[in-house]
Structure 1
Amino acid sequence: MAIDPISSFSSMRGINSAVRPHSLLPQGDKVSVQRTDARHYGKTDIAKSPDEVAGTFANAMKKAFEQVNDQQVEADEMTQKIVFDPNSVELHEVMIAAEKARISLTFAKTMSDGFIRAYRELTQLR
């Protein structure tokens, strides 16, 4: 006489073999989340067109170059502040702003060189 391990385990635990397994879809408490910051996602039920999400390539490039320019201006302003009024700005903040501006300018130059190279290759297709 062979013993069925599953049925003996079920009978030891008092598990009813007629009970259905749990659903794969979890059912839990629903918690409402409030949007407290403007950077958080708002209502995401409405699908947006790709143009609304990303915009055009020209707008993206313009925005990126404006951000690079803003970082350059901020670094210059902080450098002038530390020269004329050393107690108004911390030295490490000036160095961080200058390094951010340098890195963003280097990256923008590298990207624009790549775009120009790609444009030339596309125009010289044979």
Structure 2
Amino acid sequence: MADGIDGLNGIKGINPNTIKPEKTNTDKNNLDFANILKEAIEEVNALQKNADSVAADYAAGKITDIHQVIIAAEKASLSLKLTSEVTNRIVEAYKEIMRMQI
């Protein structure tokens, strides 16, 4: 039975001393909750501003394709809905944690 496994003898084992942890820079990769939330809100704000500028350009006649305007408005609308839903869930989770008894 073991005759067909002779090829596995050449496989080296994993040496835990050769595995190096991934280097992280705390200044660049600071992923605390406040920064993540801030970046998400800034992205939603940028989408809202983009939708407003595309709508203004369409009204001014700079853009003739109504599809671009509708897509930009829907992206902004969906991102705002998602942000408000996430905010509601965060508030609900916070309230639930505050109701817990120790």
In structure 1, how many angstroms separate the alpha carbons of the residues matched to 2:74 and 2:29? 31
The residue that corresponds to 1:73 in the other structure is 49
Residue 63 in structure 1 maps to residue 39 in structure 2: yes
The residue that corresponds to 1:28 in the other structure is none
How many percent identity over aligned positions? 29
Secondary structure at the aligned position of 1:55 is classed as coil
In structure 2, how many angstroms separate the alpha carbons of the residues matched to 1:50 and 1:122? 29
The residue that corresponds to 1:83 in the other structure is 59
The residue that corresponds to 2:82 in the other structure is 107
Give 1:97's aligned amino acid. A
Structure 2, unpaired ranges of 5+: 1-5, 13-20
Give TM-score scaled by structure 2 length: 0.71
Q: Which has the higher contact order (CA 8 A, sep 6+)?
A: 2
Q: How much has 1:53 moved relative to structure 2?
A: 3.3
Q: Between Structure 1 and Structure 2, how many residues are aligned?
A: 86
Where in structure 1 do 4 or more consecutive aligned residues deviate above 2 Å? Answer: 20-25, 49-54
Flag the structure with higher helix content.
Answer: 2
Structure 1, unpaired ranges of 5+: 1-19, 26-44
When the two chains are superposed, the root-mean-square deviation of aligned CA atoms in Å is 2.5
Measured against aligned partners, the alpha-carbon deviations of 1:51-94 in whole angstroms (never above 9, x if no partner) come to: 85352100100000000011001001111111122xx2221111
Counterparts in 2 of 1:91 and 1:52: CA distance versus 1, 3 Å: same
Residue 48 in structure 1 maps to residue 51 in structure 2: no
Q: Which has the larger radius of gyration?
A: 1
Q: How much has 1:97 moved relative to structure 2?
A: 0.6
Secondary structure at the aligned position of 1:53 is classed as coil
The residue that corresponds to 1:32 in the other structure is none
